[in-house]
Amino acid sequence: MPTKNNNITTKQTGFQVNPQNINRNGRPPKEFSMTNTLREVLSIEDKETRLKNYEQIMIAAVEKAKAGDNDMIKYLVNRLEGMPKGESTTNVNVVIPILGGNSVKEVIDVDAG
């Protein structure tokens, strides 16, 4: 049903028209999720070693790093300490008019770190 506000007619849509369609319990959980499936697979325990899959993967990663794999060393350090923050400098040219018709050009260094 259209409403009229200040001589403007707008058509009501969505929950205004069909309030019975509001899901009061929120969005239902997904039946299939890659994240949940991967989480389940990684938490499966190996009967022989009694280690979970994610523990075996981490042991293998540490073994590769100990063997000298630089990429794996970087990966593990970044996972532990976080990615290093990159630094960047931006030059901004600003023209400032001065009384008398002359202008001064100034370079301002902006550190974005």
In whole angstroms, give the CA distance from residue 66 to residue 3. Answer: 71
pLDDT tier at 110 (50, 70, 90 boundaries)? low
- Window from 12-21, 32-41, 42-51, 104-113 with minimum mean pLDDT: 104-113
User: DSSP assignment of 29-72, as one string?
Assistant: PPS--HHHHHHHHHTPBPTTT--BHHHHHHHHHHHHHHTT-HHH
- Asked whether residue 22 carries a pLDDT value surpassing 80, the answer given is no
- State the pTM of this model: 0.47
Give 40-81 pLDDT, tens digit per residue: 999 999 999 999 999 999 999 999 999 999 999 999 999 998
- Asked whether residue 6 carries a pLDDT value surpassing 70, the answer given is no
- Which pLDDT score is estimated for 74? 92
